[in-house]
Structure 1
Amino acid sequence: MSTAAAPVLVAGGTGFVGRRLVAALVEEGRDVRVMTRHPNRYAGPGTAVHGDVAEPATLDPALAGCAAAYYLVHSLGSADFRTRDARAAEAFGVRAARAGVSQLVYLGGLGKDDDRLSDHLRSRREVESLLGVGGVPVTVLRAGIVVGHGGISWEITRQLVEHLPAMVTPRWVRTRTQPIAVADVVRYLLGVLGRPEAAGRVFEIGGPDVLEYAEMLQRVAAIEGRRLPIVPVPLLTPGLSSRWLALVTDVDARAGRNLVDSMVNEVVVTDTSVRDVVPLRPMSYDDAVRAALMERAASR
């Protein structure tokens, strides 16, 4: 499953995780294709190629000659995102097989299969299986909240802390999660590329800290030198929570709602087998927060 010389395609290479992955792949000396609907507007590293997962015929030229492809696409901001993502994943998997791709790598979501998963997390599971319909081995990395400048989940966290003197919160603030720095997500994505022992497997990735959402918020407040009293209100439903988020953050309302729906699901690593393939030491939540705040400050 050598991918050292042949091109590697990154679908979703202009997104939050994708653009960081593209830069890291190029730094490693890889021949990287960045799939985008508007290649003429792309000015980053790698080679921009036209492709749209909603138009399967456009995928063939993008995938031609590639040894591997990363799939970092989602439609979380659409009302019918589950249908859109299912169709797109199936088309991509079939076209990748036709092109002779030997490995697909997908970033999915943590959560127990026997839990009542939200539509967002259920969609991630569907995409995992549909990417493999053509027969290409799929390597899945399941993550919880990814901490980094520009990520939707992180922006919700940061803006809640910075915009509110105190928080009246729903019960989901007591849900446990295992956040991970975006830099570590990229390191895991790099680490499984071209590894035979990663083919066709599902791995769980997370940072070293298992925290309730309330703890995450309070740690951000402490790092920023703020006080953030939290008052839980059991009757604040996910629907009301999403409207509340729309009032105090500038994240996309529909994407925010879909993420809030997932916050009732515990997302904690239960299988650490990824360490046998990619033996890295993820940074702590506090360090991930500091890195995200520093990147934001540098970009302003």
Structure 2
Amino acid sequence: MKTIAIAGANGFVGQALLEKLSQDYHIIALSRNVSSKEKQKNIEWRSCDLYSMRDAEIGLEGVDYAIYLVHSMMPSARLTQGNFSDTDLILADNFVRAAKKQNVQQIIYLGGIVPNKEEDLSLHLKSRLEVEVTLSSYKVPLTTIRTSIVVGPGGSSFHMIEKLVRRLPVMICPKWTRSETQPISLEDVIAAIEQMLGNDRFFHQTIELGGPDVFDYQRLIELMAKAFGKKRLLITVPIFTARLSTLWVSLVTGTSRKLVAPLIQSLRHRMVAKEHPLKKQLQLPQIPFEVCVKNAINTKPTKSYTRKKFIPQVSDVRSVQRLCLPKGKSARFVAQEYSKWLGRYMKGILVVDNDDKGNSFFRLRFFKRWPLLVITLSPERSSSDRYLFYITGGILAEKTDRGRLEFREVMAGKYILAAIHDFRPTLPWYIYNFSQAIIHLWVMKNFGRYLKKYSEESMLSAP
């Protein structure tokens, strides 16, 4: 029996895959919290924080195939500094590096349809494409399935539209509701994944899938209203911006604006699947949209489908910034340059001492006896394209074995990500938010400017 790991097993697609694939495969379901999971036949839950490469490596141990369903649009710490597209890159990069180390034979990734004009992508679709590029960067065979709205019980996009239809007898429809989409049933997606698993014809392939129906979002809303037995008046107006639409949808549906905003921005694109020769080899149910809606309505979501509000257990911080990587330079260079630059940039306030082991001590100039922060290089977890430090001391940090700072190359060396994970400050939380947290962002923003200037000067001086 082959072993499959599912990252994102708690989502509605992940749960459907658990039920379907566990009949023929041994399933490893990856989750940050597995304490309350019931034992099921052929299903093994593993605690795995994909922000940690070590956790990812342990999670993928003994795995033949892996299915990647992860998205970081929801918070993962009490304070998250940075864009979801940057945290998405870290998660995907950890996953594929771990898959390569554990000799995983195939990764299947569920992403979004990419319009023809890639230069004008919404942040959400651009992030989905960047994840795809990242997962394909380490020579692990990747199969990418791109879809529009997946219709099924518990699906976030479908559930959001369902709330709008149920709660509003009159709906003001912005211009984006005239964009075409090609929704697909959850059953079609599951059938496609099942047929692609271990099938080398689909290795290194990107296939866009859709259901049998293509229509605009207004027609989609009308069909959903019909399925609910309701009549809805739709009024099209040209003045609603993406920001206004986000606020409106968030208020009506009770969905977080952080989740709504990227989805709304993506709706301006025509989300219709392009042809691919291998699609003819797939035997899919091709369930009509109206039938999908009725099935979703009549199927009660399990507890695992339900999106719970994130409630932090500790006062932890995650901070991720995307920086320019100078041509020909590495993560090692950026990490070493950071401590040198910081000492110069904050001269008169901060002193940065580096020892011969690569460790750094950050001290106030007039109080050198007690370091503010101490970071210790982890040579066994570092390489030229990823430099990792653990936050091991200082009066501003609680001592834990998880707090860390890393500099990581992503997108084939196009960018560098400077990231802090699982950091716990000693300052009272509200004081930290309005002091140390703001200073950190200010410092990283200026370091990014320094790297950009360094890169431009290097290019000008190149022969």
Report whether the alignment pairs 1:61 with 2:58: yes
Aligned partner letter, 1:87: I
Query: In 2, distance between residues paired with 1:290 and 1:42?
Result: 29
2:72 to 54, 71, 75: 75
State the match for 1:105 in structure 2. 108
Query: In 1, distance between residues paired with 2:219 and 2:132?
Result: 31
Query: In 1, distance between residues paired with 2:171 and 2:99?
Result: 47
Cα offset, 1:277, TM superposition: 3.3
- Alignment of structure 1 residues 252-271 onto 2, 5 Å: 252-271=256-275
Query: In 1, distance between residues paired with 2:146 and 2:210?
Result: 8
8 Å Cα contact 2:153/2:299 also seen in 1? yes
Cα offset, 1:39, TM superposition: 1.8
Report whether the alignment pairs 1:248 with 2:252: yes
State the match for 1:13 in structure 2. 9
Query: In 2, distance between residues paired with 1:16 and 1:107?
Result: 13
Percent of residue pairs identical? 31
Change (3 A) 1:164 1:139: same
Aligned partner letter, 1:91: N
2:28 to 33, 42, 46: 33
Change (3 A) 1:243 1:278: same
SS at match of 1:17: helix
Report whether the alignment pairs 1:145 with 2:141: no
Aligned partner letter, 2:258: R
TM-score calculated relative to the size of structure 1 = 0.94
State the match for 1:130 in structure 2. 134
State the match for 1:179 in structure 2. 183
Alignment RMSD (CA, Å)? 1.7
Cα offset, 1:199, TM superposition: 0.4
Aligned partner letter, 2:297: L
SS at match of 2:86: helix
2:18 to 19, 22, 32: 22
Query: In 1, distance between residues paired with 2:256 and 2:18?
Result: 25
Query: In 2, distance between residues paired with 1:82 and 1:37?
Result: 20
Size of the alignment, in residue pairs?
A: 295
Aligned partner letter, 1:37: R
Change (3 A) 1:210 1:272: farther
State the match for 1:85 in structure 2. 88
Cα offset, 1:298, TM superposition: 9.4
Richer in strand (by share): 2
Query: In 2, distance between residues paired with 1:133 and 1:193?
Result: 20
TM-score calculated relative to the size of structure 2 = 0.62
8 Å Cα contact 2:30/2:45 also seen in 1? yes
State the match for 1:118 in structure 2. 122
SS at match of 1:283: coil
Query: In 2, distance between residues paired with 1:125 and 1:69?
Result: 18
Aligned partner letter, 1:135: K
Cα offset, 1:129, TM superposition: 1.0
Cα offset, 1:297, TM superposition: 8.5
8 Å Cα contact 1:203/1:273 also seen in 2? no
Change (3 A) 1:274 1:18: farther
Report whether the alignment pairs 1:296 with 2:291: no
Aligned partner letter, 1:36: S
Query: In 2, distance between residues paired with 1:167 and 1:279?
Result: 38
Query: In 2, distance between residues paired with 1:83 and 1:244?
Result: 27
- Alignment of structure 1 residues 137-286 onto 2, 5 Å: 137-286=141-290
Structure 1, unmatched stretches of 5+, are none
8 Å Cα contact 2:34/2:46 also seen in 1? yes
Deviates more, 1:269-278 or 1:163-172: 269-278
SS at match of 1:139: strand
SS at match of 2:300: helix
Q: Runs of 4+ in structure 1 displaced over 6 angstroms?
A: 297-300
Change (3 A) 1:114 1:298: closer
Change (3 A) 1:18 1:297: closer
State the match for 2:401 in structure 1. none
Query: In 2, distance between residues paired with 1:267 and 1:47?
Result: 36
Richer in helix (by share): 1
Task: Describe the superposition over 1:11-69 as per-residue Cα deviations: whole angstroms up to 9, x where unpaired.
Answer: 11111211111111112x21000001112222264110121111111011211111110
Cα offset, 1:164, TM superposition: 0.3
Per chain length, whose mean CA-contact separation is higher, i.e. which structure has more relative contact order (CA < 8 Å, sep 6+)?
A: 1
Cα offset, 1:110, TM superposition: 0.5
Change (3 A) 1:133 1:215: same
Aligned partner letter, 1:76: M
Aligned partner letter, 2:115: K
Query: In 2, distance between residues paired with 1:137 and 1:13?
Result: 21
Deviates more, 1:79-88 or 1:213-222: 79-88
8 Å Cα contact 2:153/2:301 also seen in 1? no
Bigger Rg, structure 1 or 2? 2
8 Å Cα contact 2:154/2:301 also seen in 1? no
Aligned partner letter, 2:196: V
Change (3 A) 1:15 1:110: same
